[in-house]
Amino acid sequence: MGRFHAALSQPGLRAIAEVKRRSPSAGDLRPDADPARLATQFAAAGAAAISILVDERFGGTFDDLLAARRATHAPLLAKGFFTEELHLLEAKAAGADAALLLLRDLDDERAAALLRYAGELGLETLVEAHDAEELERAVRLDAPVIGINARDLANFDIDRSRQLELVASAPRDRVIVAESGVHTRAQGAAAELAGADAVLVGTALMRAADPPAKLAELISRPLVKVCGLTNEEDVAVAVEAGADFCGFILAEASPRRAPEVLPVPAGVLSVAVFVGEEAETGADLVQLYRREEGRVRGRDAVLLRGAEEVARVVDLPWEEADPLHLQRAAATDGRVMLAGRLGPDNVADAIRAVRPWAVDAASRLESEPGRKDHDKVREYVRAAR
């Protein structure tokens, strides 16, 4: 496989940062965007690859691709409405490592011909699907990198739920890119947990005051969870502070038991916390602890998306200490959500020691059980991010 595929296959959630001056759905985004400057900045901010719009409807040309190629060694994706071999040859000549193929615009015969020709050119492809039928076609065409777009190009509506369902159903032997609709770290995490290897982000970057800083924020880790929320006021403070996950404990014996999973904004994920058995709540994720005799909960938990385990929660025993807690967490394979009496004063040190995928705090952010100290919540999120 080539550089584009290799860059997106690295561990963790990768990002394709997109340079586009305008959008047919949103109008002007950044009319004065300099593709060379942005490509350099995006590469420095951690982009695995950079997408350059070369279609005039997006304010782009192949000259933008040429400028980006001169400025960076990062893998470049030429993005346009390519239906002919000449389009791919132009993309390759302008310095692209990969080109977009929209299955919406191509039947199987034409798509297969373009894939063959791209291979002859040494040009990789991102084969984009919008629905289950197109995803099946992409798999049948043996596309190594498949994009699943949340945006319906007919009416420009965003349906992230449908996108995540398709991502979750995609074969794991392909590189899967979730495209469109990612504006927050939690939305990127939702795609990651559904099975995406990467996200393609354009509009959110082009609208940001500082595009490379926005990119760095979207892919930064650890994610931050505020748990033990019981009321809407505390939820609002956690969200305003920048929490990615809002946790609602539904175990009956917990002093922080919430009445239900409360509403959270679209850019944040809700987590329902159970002990022993889970129940349907409509939460985005479930955090499930085992039962343990004589205790409110067992020590560790799993984070579930539907029936699939997507992370391990490494916690402390209930109301007990463990001097080797951080070492144990650091030695745990896979995604780790670190929990266990974290607060504003110790979360940064814990992050340095463990390098977790996410951190989780509850009791040390309280003024009393079930009520948050808003200053502590803000200080904790700031220290963790």
- Over residues 276-311, the pLDDT tens digits come to 999 999 999 999 999 988 888 999 999 999 999 999
pLDDT tens sequence across 9-43: 999 999 999 999 998 777 888 889 999 999 999 99
What would the mean pLDDT of 246-275 be, rounded to a whole number? 96
Backbone angles phi, psi at 144, to 5 degrees: -70, -35
* pLDDT over 80 (residue 154): no
Nearest CA among 3, 68, 76 for reference residue 40: 68
**Known catalytic residues?**
18, 20, 79, 128, 149, 179-180
* pLDDT over 80 (residue 208): yes
CA distance 62 to 64: 5
Helix 85-93 × helix 62-71 angle, to 10°: 30
User: pLDDT value at position 227?
Assistant: 98
Indicate the pLDDT class of residue 155, thresholds 50, 70 and 90: confident
CA distance 208 to 205: 5
pLDDT tens sequence across 359-368: 999 999 999 9
User: pLDDT value at position 145?
Assistant: 98
pLDDT tens sequence across 158-189: 899 999 999 999 999 999 999 998 999 999 99
Work out the mean pLDDT of the chain and round it to a whole number: 96
CA distance 370 to 164: 32
* pLDDT over 90 (residue 220): yes
CA distance 30 to 37: 13
User: pLDDT value at position 181?
Assistant: 87
pLDDT tens sequence across 115-153: 999 999 999 999 999 999 999 999 999 999 999 999 877
Q: Contact, 101 vs 77, CB < 8 A?
A: no
The two tokens of residue 123 are 């040009």
Least confident of 38-52, 153-167, 309-323: 153-167
Specify the pTM: 0.95
Domains of the chain: 3-219 (3.20.20.70), 223-384 (3.20.20.70)
Nearest CA among 336, 290, 346, 331 for reference residue 314: 336
